Amino acid sequence: MTSKKSILLIGLGRFGRHIAMKLDELHHQVMAVDKEDSRVEAILPYVTNAQIGDATNEDFLSSLGVRNFDVCIVAIGDNFQNSLETTALLKDYGAPFVLSRANRDVHAKFLLRNGADRIVYPEKEMAQRMAVKYGNDNIFDCIELTDEYSIYEIPVPESWVGKSILEKDVRKKYGISILATKRLETLYPLPGAEHVFAEDENLIILGHFKDVRAVIKLH
């Protein structure tokens, strides 16, 4: 079971709001901050606490006790200067881990130099995911892990139906790892070597895109 974390979330635009709602589902303790009172009021049902304030104001930020949060998320997307200043101030006041939003690579470099421990590109990551998903008929979903490796959901190649993972020697021959099978929206994690591929199931696989592309060409 995942342990509860205390999270400071700064910026309650669409991206920040979605983060808050997901963290609420996962039962984490969230302190939300935004300059606009309407955004703060709207997020109250999903967070532990919320404050109206300017995170670039040193007095206000220091009053939040940022060193006491496990993670500080800078979700400001409409003002890079504010995002940069907030990221730097969080580190100055002892925040143990700062996750900052970036819209461009050059922004990411500045954020990393000024205190961000990790960068997230919501628009870029969604664009890449959609390009892969809708640009390939036999890829139903994609989650990028690194520049080279991703997790994909694909249908079972026709030539694999009725054969086992061991028979097809999937990892050695195709360079991919099968993380799970999926049938009728039910996920079956870590299938054994004896698992026999069925026509009506999908595969959740981990691999390099060139290897995955070779597999989907088997259809």
Q: From residue 146, how far is each of 87, 150, 151, 168, 203 by CA, in Å?
A: 24, 7, 10, 27, 20
In terms of pTM, does the model score above 0.85?
no
Query: What pLDDT score does 204 carry?
Result: 95
Burial of residue 187 (CB within 10 Å: 0-12, 13-18, 19+) is: exposed
Q: Which residues contact 85 (CB under 8 A, 6 or more apart)?
A: 56
Query: What pLDDT score does 9 carry?
Result: 97
**What residues does CATH 3.40.50.720 cover in the chain?**
6-120
Helix (H, G, I), strand (E, B) or coil at 187: strand
The CATH number, out of the four listed (3.20.20.10, 3.30.70.1450, 3.30.1490.20, 3.30.450.20), of the domain defined by the range 125-216: 3.30.70.1450
Q: How confident is the model at residue 1 (pLDDT cuts 50, 70, 90)?
A: very low
Q: How confident is the model at residue 139 (pLDDT cuts 50, 70, 90)?
A: confident
Helix or strand holding residue 144 (H, E): strand 141-144
Residue 96 has pLDDT above 80, yes or no: yes
Question: Taking the domain 6-120, which CATH number applies?
Answer: 3.40.50.720
Residue 89 has pLDDT above 90, yes or no: yes
Query: What pLDDT score does 94 carry?
Result: 96
> What are 208's strand-pairing partners?
149
Residue pair 199/161 in contact (Cβ under 8 Å)? The answer is yes
Residue 130 has pLDDT above 80, yes or no: no
The pair of three-digit structure tokens given for residue 116, joined into one six-digit string = 């961000």
Residue 55 has pLDDT above 70, yes or no: yes
